[in-house]
Amino acid sequence: MSLKSSTLTVLLPDSRSKNYLFNFVDTPGHPAFSDEVTVGMRLADSVILVIDCIEGVTIFVERIAKEAMRSRLPIIVFINKLDRLVLELKLPPADAYFKIKHTIDELNLVIK
């Protein structure tokens, strides 16, 4: 578990040989370190919101989404740990789909 924010800078070329500089700030995912997340968002142009597909939208995820919206930052949603639906819960494909859809619907309710 990370306790502090860490940064990563990547230079990525596109198909027309133009380069783009990306600075990523990885913040802790534990609610006890929400101050690190808030500081990281103040430095950001957008937010990649990582949601565990089993846990769904927790209070911490809800808090981060609301903070991003208050800061008028675009949110990119990333559903993480999809393999747990099959390996741990042993869900058939249709049930796994509905679990993922439910997670996205939960986040949409927070955003509304």
Are the CB atoms for 51 and 57 separated by under 8 Å?
A: yes
Q: Compute the distance between CA of residue 90 and CA of residue 96 in angstroms, rounded to an integer.
A: 9
Cα angle at 95 between 91 and 99, to 5 degrees?
100
- Sequence spans of domains, the chain: 6-111
Q: In CATH, what number does 6-111 get? A: 3.40.50.300
* Span 32-69, pLDDT tens digits: 667 777 777 777 888 889 999 999 998 888 988 998 99
| Coil, strand or helix at 104 | helix
Arithmetic mean of pLDDT, 86-106: 93
Element (H, E) at 68: helix 59-70
Among 22-31, 43-52, 80-89, the least confident range: 22-31
